[in-house]
């Protein structure tokens, strides 16, 4: 509905319609709970003297940067809007706010979001989940002072504010999953100039400080957007400022988007959908998702697809979900299936590939259980093939030689082996094998 350009214009008809939709449909009164706020700002919407976060902005940020049904963390919850929009869009929202009054006012508007009252600096480490998106809007220094509380950022001097904001950003970052986005709305605030405490009113640098704080812990600054607020107030008071000391009235806020990990993987997971392929036991949403997750330098989506449809043994664990390639069983040893002699010598390390090839071709009775078979007679998956391998491993592994004779209750690969074991001559063994009196002495046929 609104194009993802770096300037988001809240003055457009679509934007306002969407905003009204949220406020009227869900009875969002995000201005409630902050009645004691002392606001120095003259630029917010005229309707209330406190800043009210925009539901349309919430909707866009969640739509663009959060996987379906994802979990959203907000260390400075403020009013109800970010929570209600999140829950009504099917996300799980956890918001922390120091102000008891604020939390109460929010909970009256909706019971769906999970609001925690407390100092985010302390509460964040108590959270045990991982989140798919951090989206928040801290106090802008003392532009709005929300309370006298010692932990209230809006109540701190600039250096303590910066230190505490950084800790809260860091702790929020630790709660964010890998390959996810982190969004924070800030704005520049000028040094106040009061009687007897003249200041030139320079900006305090909240925007660039926030960027460095986020980058300090490994997040990458990824999208830089501005929220174009209404000019109504600015045009009312701006002229005074401009004429007096060329201060440009700010009619925007900065929406800073950072990424933790890989934005390509994050985007694939935001788009979501059914898993397309499974590689080495891990499912991926698309071939591209797999390529970037496994090795973005060496793999591309088409190569992942090629490997998934390949029948080569080395790609047996690269599969398209629902179109799994199945092994082409051409060899068996006893009832253990193999696609190639190479697979056999991978399993029976003391044998070489050419030895395995020879045994399959051999007519010797002791290799009678090494057989070539028709692939059409073996309709099994790679997993089933490996399960049979593991079973035979547990049962002592594949026997290279097949017993060819039975002497009483013992079986032997050859007459020589039996003779040595029984301490008699080979001739004696053969006599007993032919002697019908020795019913449990016989030649074995393991060919089937």
- How many CB atoms lie under 10 A from the CB of residue 378? 19
Task: State which residue, 31 or 132, has the beta carbon closest to ligand SAM.
Answer: 31
By the rule CB under 6 A, 98 interacts with ligand SAM: yes
- With CB under 6 A as the contact rule, the residue among 70, 79, 238, 337 that binds ligand SAM is 79
- With CB under 6 A as the contact rule, the residue among 58, 86, 127, 137 that binds ligand SAM is 137
- Contact in structure between 144 and 78 (CB atoms under 8 Å): no
Smallest distance from ligand SAM to CB 326, Å: 56
Window 33-52: contact mask with ligand SAM (x via CB under 6 A): ------------------xx
Measured CA distances, 37 to 143, 194, 198, 427 (Å): 10, 19, 24, 107
The CA-to-CA distance between both ends of the chain, in Å, stands at 69
- With CB under 6 A as the contact rule, the residue among 146, 173, 370, 412 that binds ligand SAM is 146
Site for ligand SAM in 259-318 (CB under 6 A): none
Task: State which residue, 170 or 438, has the beta carbon closest to ligand SAM.
Answer: 170
Smallest distance from ligand SAM to CB 389, Å: 56
Site for ligand SAM in 150-169 (CB under 6 A): 151-154
- Contact in structure between 333 and 369 (CB atoms under 8 Å): yes
How far is C-alpha 198 from the chain's CA centre?
51
Euclidean distance between CA atoms 44 and 35, whole angstroms: 15
By the rule CB under 6 A, 76 interacts with ligand SAM: yes
Residue whose C-alpha is closest to residue 412's, from 448, 440, 371? 440
- Write the DSSP symbol of residue 379: -
Residue nearest to ligand SAM (CB): 78
Task: State which residue, 190 or 428, has the beta carbon closest to ligand SAM.
Answer: 190
Cα atoms found within 13 Å of the Cα of residue 108, Cβ hemisphere only: 11
Task: Please list the helix, strand and coil fractions of the chain in percent, rounded to the nearest 5, in that order.
Answer: 40, 20, 40
Task: State which residue, 51 or 404, has the beta carbon closest to ligand SAM.
Answer: 51
- Contact in structure between 93 and 113 (CB atoms under 8 Å): yes
Smallest distance from ligand SAM to CB 8, Å: 15
Smallest distance from ligand SAM to CB 101, Å: 9
Task: State which residue, 249 or 334, has the beta carbon closest to ligand SAM.
Answer: 249
By the rule CB under 6 A, 139 interacts with ligand SAM: yes
440: left (phi over 0), alpha (psi -120 to 50) or beta: alpha
- With CB under 6 A as the contact rule, the residue among 57, 58, 60, 120 that binds ligand SAM is 120
By the rule CB under 6 A, 132 interacts with ligand SAM: no
Measured CA distances, 315 to 46, 328, 339, 345 (Å): 64, 13, 13, 18
Pairing type for strands 114-117 and 92-97 reads parallel
Structure tokens at 78: 């403020």
- Contact in structure between 320 and 276 (CB atoms under 8 Å): yes
Stretch that binds ligand SAM, among 61-69, 144-152, 267-275, 375-383 (CB under 6 A): 144-152
Euclidean distance between CA atoms 62 and 114, whole angstroms: 17
Smallest distance from ligand SAM to CB 347, Å: 59
Task: State which residue, 153 or 407, has the beta carbon closest to ligand SAM.
Answer: 153
Smallest distance from ligand SAM to CB 119, Å: 4
Stretch that binds ligand SAM, among 4-12, 75-83, 175-183, 217-225 (CB under 6 A): 75-83
By the rule CB under 6 A, 102 interacts with ligand SAM: yes
By the rule CB under 6 A, 99 interacts with ligand SAM: yes
Structure tokens at 448: 């089937």
Stretch that binds ligand SAM, among 131-139, 220-228, 314-322, 410-418 (CB under 6 A): 131-139
Which residues lie near ligand SAM (CB under 6 A)? 51-53, 76, 78-79, 96-99, 102, 119-121, 137-139, 146, 151-154
């Amino acid at each position: 509905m609104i194009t993802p350009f770096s300037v988001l214009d809240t003055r457009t008809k679509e934007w306002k319609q969407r905003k009204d939709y949220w406020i009227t449909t869900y009875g969002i009164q995000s201005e409630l709970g902050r009645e004691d706020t002392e606001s120095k700002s003259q630029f917010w919407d005229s309707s209330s003297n406190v800043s009210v976060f925009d539901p349309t902005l919430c909707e866009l940020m969640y739509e663009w940067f959060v996987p379906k049904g994802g979990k959203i963390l907000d260390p400075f919850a403020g009013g109800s809007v970010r929570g209600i929009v999140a829950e009504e869009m099917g996300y799980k929202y956890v918001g922390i706010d120091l102000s008891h009054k604020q939390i109460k006012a929010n909970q009256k508007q909706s019971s769906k979001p999970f609001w925690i009252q407390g100092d985010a600096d302390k509460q964040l480490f108590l959270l045990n989940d991982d989140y798919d998106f951090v989206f928040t809007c801290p106090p802008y220094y003392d532009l709005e002072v929300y309370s006298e509380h010692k932990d209230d950022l809006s109540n701190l001097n600039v250096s303590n504010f910066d230190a505490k904001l950084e800790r809260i950003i860091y702790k929020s970052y630790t709660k964010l999953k890998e390959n996810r986005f982190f969004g924070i709305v800030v704005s520049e605030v000028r040094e106040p100039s009061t009687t007897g405490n003249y200041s030139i009113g320079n900006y305090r640098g909240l925007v660039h400080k926030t960027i460095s704080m986020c980058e300090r812990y490994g997040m990458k600054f990824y999208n830089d957007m501005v929220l174009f607020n209404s000019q109504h107030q600015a045009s009312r008071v701006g002229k005074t400022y401009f004429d007096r000391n060329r201060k440009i009235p700010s009619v925007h806020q900065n929406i800073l988007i950072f990424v933790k990990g890989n934005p390509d993987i994050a985007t694939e997971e935001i788009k979501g959908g059914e898993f397309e392929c499974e590689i080495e036991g891990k499912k991926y949403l698309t071939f591209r998702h797999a390529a970037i997750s496994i090795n973005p330098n060496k793999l591309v989506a088409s190569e992942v697809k090629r490997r998934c449809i390949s029948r080569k043994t080395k790609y047996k664990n690269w599969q398209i979900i629902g179109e799994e390639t199945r092994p082409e069983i051409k060899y068996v040893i006893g009832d253990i299936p193999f696609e190639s002699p190479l697979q056999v010598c991978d399993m029976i390390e003391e044998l070489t590939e050419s030895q395995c090839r020879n045994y399959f071709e051999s007519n010797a009775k002791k290799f009678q259980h090494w057989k070539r078979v028709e692939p059409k007679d073996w309709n099994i998956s790679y997993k089933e093939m490996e399960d049979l391998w593991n079973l035979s491993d547990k049962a002592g592994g594949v026997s290279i030689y097949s017993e060819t004779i039975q002497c009483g209750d013992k079986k032997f690969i050859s007459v020589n082996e039996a003779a040595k074991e029984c301490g008699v001559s080979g001739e004696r063994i053969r006599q007993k094998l032919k002697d019908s009196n020795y019913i449990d002495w016989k030649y074995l046929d393991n060919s089937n």
